[in-house]
A and B are shown apart, each in its own frame.
Chain A
Amino acid sequence: MVEVILKNVKKSYGPVEVIHGIDLHIKDQEFCVFVGPSGCGKSTLLRMIAGLEDINDGEIWIGDKDVTDLEPVDRGISMVFQTYALYPHMTVRENISYGLKVSKTPQAEIDRRVADAASNLQLNDYLDRKPGQLSGGQRQRVAIGRSIVRKPDVFLFDEPLSNLDAELRVHMRIEIARLHNRLDSTMIYVTHDQVEAMTLADKIVVLQAGQIEQVGSPLHLYDDPDNQFVAGFIGSPRMNFLTGKVTGVDGNITNVSVDGSDVALTLSENSPSVGDPVTVGIRPEHLSVGGAGAQITVRPDVTEQMGGVGYMHTYTKDDIHVVAEIKGRIAESATEAEQVALSFDPSQAFVFDASGARLR
């Protein structure tokens, strides 16, 4: 059982606190993904778990050990860096086996593990090359090979695919998913790629400005975000946010005026008061041209036709950007019209108060 537990972990650089007390429980064999905007502290948090950064407060537990003050090598972790950080003067074989050599593993065992890793990662033909003679994807595989031969309890990845081109990224993403299935180890993975987070994760941790916004499975975060930040961050294209005002409250039904039209929303837990400003969030795929439900009137701008789906970029009369995802083809009559009515089912809309907290 190798769980990773963070207890009120804090980190400051000089007087500036960048991680503000994080509590997190990552279960055994879980694939946990940290996402968040650039500079929110994803890498810092990962490096603190790795032991590359000291922490100013709190505790880190890996398995049943308090590792807060242990060196990286004593934590049972390995890490794949965004820049790969391969040793350029060593061959692929030497790169992969360096850690084992340092820990004085018997040569026969080293050879066995290197051969194992090489065949799993299709590196057999490159073992005697230097990193400079490899392609980006091959380098990435060497970096992964270097981390698996040490048989760590926890794998750490810091944006491992961000230097690869789109096609290779998809390929390596699948390889990493396979690796996780095969090794059954706990993995912590930093990315700011939506798709990587949604497809790889068992659990996503959304960070903003050194704090956790929400933790949950990908679909849980998608279907039930706790706040406007998570709602906007998870999902691509991102959720549309319309401004509204509460016009009436009647039991569970809250009437909100959105863009001139009245929308009846069901809020059973919170009930705002009349006159409160709220934000109504609607995912692009929940909007359709024509159809039943609540309606907003928009001015079409650009359309992007992908074949299977199309994205219609539009503006409300307050110049709020609204994207609608349309299944199949978008009719020319809709794209060329002066004004189009987009409709949605109010039960699929999300409501947030002025501070961004979700109203349910």
Chain B
Amino acid sequence: MARTASSRRLFNSTGKYFILILMAVIALYPILQMWMTALRPSNEVLRSPFALPSELDWSNLTKAWTQGRFGTYLVNSVIITIPTVIGVVVLSCLAGYGISRFKFWGRGIMFLTILLGLTVPFQSVMIPLYYQLLNMGLLGTYWSVILPGIAFGLPFGVFLMQSFFEDLPHELAEAGRIDGSSELRIFWDIMLPLAKPAVSTLIVFQFMKTWNEFLMPLLYLQDEDMRPIPLGLMFFQGAYTRDIGLIAAGVAISTIPVIIVYLIFQRQFVKGLTAGAVK
């Protein structure tokens, strides 16, 4: 009996690991293939596309960086993405907290109006927005993608933060009030630290969304020197259609920041941070 039970357990865990490993391979293989292609000497790319590179050849990467101007694109992407992410996260935290904690008049309508933003596709407002940015004198500046980027990030951000704060025990804020903390300090000292998992989720999500944004910069940033990576990649692909190794190198460069951001913040996706607050 004991034997069958333990062998069944062994099979169960083997089966589990088999499926997990399979999933990992499916997810990681394209990334591996991309890096192998980028690091392969050019003459091997078509001859043996799936084998390991015979030697590591960094020339594609350096060529993409210099000729493909990926350095410039990268800087542009950073200039656009960081303020957008900061704007979305700061405003979402404040708005989400305010809506969840204070029962002010019109709060329901306000929340619904913000949520309505989730249903508005960018395509439906891109042309009016173009003229508006033009009138405001912002067209062709970084602000023309940062400000709309923040606006489009807010519905989801506010929704996420509101529902997270809603679930935090209200007694914590009340304990803060008894301790003499101001509302701003309650938010900063007590509630925001507890919202770290939600904040990191929002940072990663918003970072990826902004980093990969294509249509907005295509329309509002026509100066080549201001292009972010996805646009650069497209023009680069058009210019070097045949050089698969070079394109792979461009793609590889463009994914590095996303991976870094993910690795930094994924550690914060820790559950049970509120354990021990209330019974």
Give the interface of A toward B (CB within 8 A).
50-52, 71-73, 77-79, 81, 83-89, 98-99, 102-103, 130-134, 136, 139, 146, 150, 163
Contact = CB atoms under 8 A, between A and B. Distances in A.
A103 B180 contact: yes
Interface in B165-216: 169, 171-172, 174-181, 185, 189-190, 193-194
26 contacts: A50-B178, A51-B177, A52-B177, A71-B177, A72-B177, A81-B174, A81-B175, A83-B169, A83-B171, A83-B277, A83-B278, A85-B169, A87-B189, A88-B194, A88-B273, A89-B273, A98-B179, A98-B189, A99-B178, A99-B180, A131-B276, A132-B276, A134-B276, A136-B279, A139-B279, A146-B179
Given A71-B177, A85-B278, A86-B277, A102 B171 contact: no
B172 A85 contact: yes
Contacts of B278: 81, 83-86
B135 interface: no
A52 B279 contact: no
B277 A88 contact: yes
Interface string B241-279: 000000000000000000000000000000011111111
A79 B178 contact: yes
A52 B172 CA distance: 12
B174 A85 contact: yes
A87 B178 CA distance: 13
Given A79-B174, A83-B278, A102-B185, 8 more contacts: A72-B177, A73-B180, A83-B169, A83-B171, A88-B273, A98-B179, A132-B272, A150-B179
Contact of A88 (B174, B185, B274): B274
The 6 closest A-B CB pairs, nearest first, are: A132-B276, A73-B180, A99-B179, A83-B278, A131-B276, A85-B171
B interface, size bucket: 20 to 34
Contacts of B169: 83, 85
Contact of B180 (A102, A131, A132, A163): A102
A73 B171 contact: no
B175 A132 contact: no
Given A52-B174, A88-B194, A98-B189, A73 B179 contact: yes
A81 to B, nearest CB: 5
Nearest to A140: B279
Contacts of B180: 72-73, 99, 102-103
A55 B216 CA distance: 52
A87 B176 CA distance: 9
Contacts of B277: 83-88, 131
A130 B279 contact: no
A89 B185 contact: no
Contacts of B177: 51-52, 71-73
A83 B275 CA distance: 12
Contacts of A52: 174, 177-178
Nearest to B180: A73
A139 B278 CA distance: 9
Contacts of A50: 178
Contacts of B178: 50, 52, 72-73, 77-79, 99
Nearest to A131: B276
Nearest to A74: B180
Contacts of B193: 89
A125 B273 CA distance: 23
A81 B276 CA distance: 14
Nearest to A142: B276
A72 B177 CA distance: 7
A87 B181 contact: no
A88 B179 contact: no
Nearest to B171: A85
Nearest to B196: A89
Nearest to A50: B178
B229 to A, nearest CB: 36
**Chain A CB within 10 Å — which of B169, B174, B190, B272 has the most?**
B174
A73 B179 CA distance: 6
Contacts of A132: 272, 275-276
Nearest to A147: B178
A130 B276 contact: yes
Contacts of A72: 177-178, 180
Nearest to B278: A83
Interface string B116-144: 00000000000000000000000000000
A72 B183 CA distance: 13
A87 B174 CA distance: 11
B275 A88 contact: yes
B237 to A, nearest CB: 47
